[in-house]
Structure 1
Amino acid sequence: MPRVSELFFKTAIVFLILGIGAGLQMAISGDHGAFPAHAHINLLGWVTSAIFGGYYGLNPAKAERRIAMIHYGLYTVGLVIMLPALYWMLAAGHPEIEPVVAIGSLIVAAAVLTFAFIVFSSAETVRSATVAPAQ
Structure 2
Amino acid sequence: MPKISQLFFKSATIFFIIGVMMGLHMGFSGDHSPVPAHAHLNLLGWVSSAIFATYYALNPKKAEGKLVMWQFAVYTTGIVVMIPSLYFMALGNAALEPLVGIGSLIVFAGVLLFAVVVFSSKN
State TM-score, norm by structure 2. Answer: 0.98
Paired residue for 1:50? 50
Look at both structures and tell me which one has the larger radius of gyration over its CA atoms. 1
Paired residue for 1:12? 12
Greater RCO, CA 8 A, separation 6+: 2
- Cα distance in 2 for partners of 1:60, 1:108 equals 23
Paired residue for 1:129? none
- 1:26-72 Cα distance to aligned partner (Å, 9 max, x none): 00010111111100010000000000000000111110121000000
Fraction of identical pairs, as percent: 57
Query: Does residue 98 of the first structure (1) align with residue 97 of the second (2)?
Result: yes
Paired residue for 2:71? 71
SS in 2 for 1:64: coil
Task: Give the number of equivalent residue pairs.
Answer: 123
- 1:23-38 → structure 2 map (5 Å cutoff): 23-38=23-38
Paired residue for 1:116? 115
Instruction: Structure 2: state its 5+ residue gaps.
Output: none
- Cα distance in 1 for partners of 2:18, 2:116 equals 29
- Cα distance in 1 for partners of 2:34, 2:79 equals 16
- Cα distance in 1 for partners of 2:112, 2:64 equals 18
Instruction: Structure 1: state its 5+ residue gaps.
Output: 127-135
- Cα distance in 2 for partners of 1:32, 1:68 equals 36
SS in 1 for 2:61: helix
- Cα distance in 2 for partners of 1:65, 1:117 equals 13
SS in 2 for 1:33: coil
Paired residue for 2:62? 62
- Cα distance in 2 for partners of 1:84, 1:58 equals 32
Which portions of structure 1, spanning 4 or more consecutive aligned residues, are displaced by more than 3 angstroms? none
